[in-house]
Amino acid sequence: MSSIKLNKLILQDIGNHKLLFVVLVMLVLSAMAVVEFTHQNRQLTIQQDKLFQQRDALEMEWRNLLVEQRALSEHSRVEEIAQLQLQMVRPTGQQDIVVDEP
């Protein structure tokens, strides 16, 4: 019986202090919203850091590819490959042929 009276007393007290109860509920909801937004902010910050790291890795790979491209396209390297792999030689002055455009 005392629990029934206690429940009734709690409901009456809430009814008498409606404004205070509404403020309490809003305070709890506001606190939960702050926790949720803080969590989302941290998750987005972590994701941003991962994307920055990925960007930095891609930039470094791009720079390495540019250096490799420059090294592969050097004139001396092309000439060496032509001589060693294709057995090509520079023509001498007597072997030069001049072609005039009409």
Listed by start position, the domains of the chain span 2-88
Predicted pLDDT at 77: 77
**What is the gyration radius of the CA atoms in the chain, in angstroms?**
40
pLDDT by residue (tens digit) across 62-89? 999 999 888 877 777 778 888 888 888 8
- Residue 83 makes CB contacts below 8 A (sequence gap 6+) with 89
Q: In the chain, which residue ranges form alpha helices assigned H by DSSP?
A: 2-16, 18-72, 75-84
Predicted pLDDT at 26: 97
Predicted pLDDT at 41: 98
pLDDT beneath 70, residues of the chain? 1-3
Predicted pLDDT at 2: 63
Q: How far apart are CA 74 and CA 76, in angstroms?
A: 6
Predicted pLDDT at 15: 87
Closest CA to 26 of 1, 12, 44, 34: 34
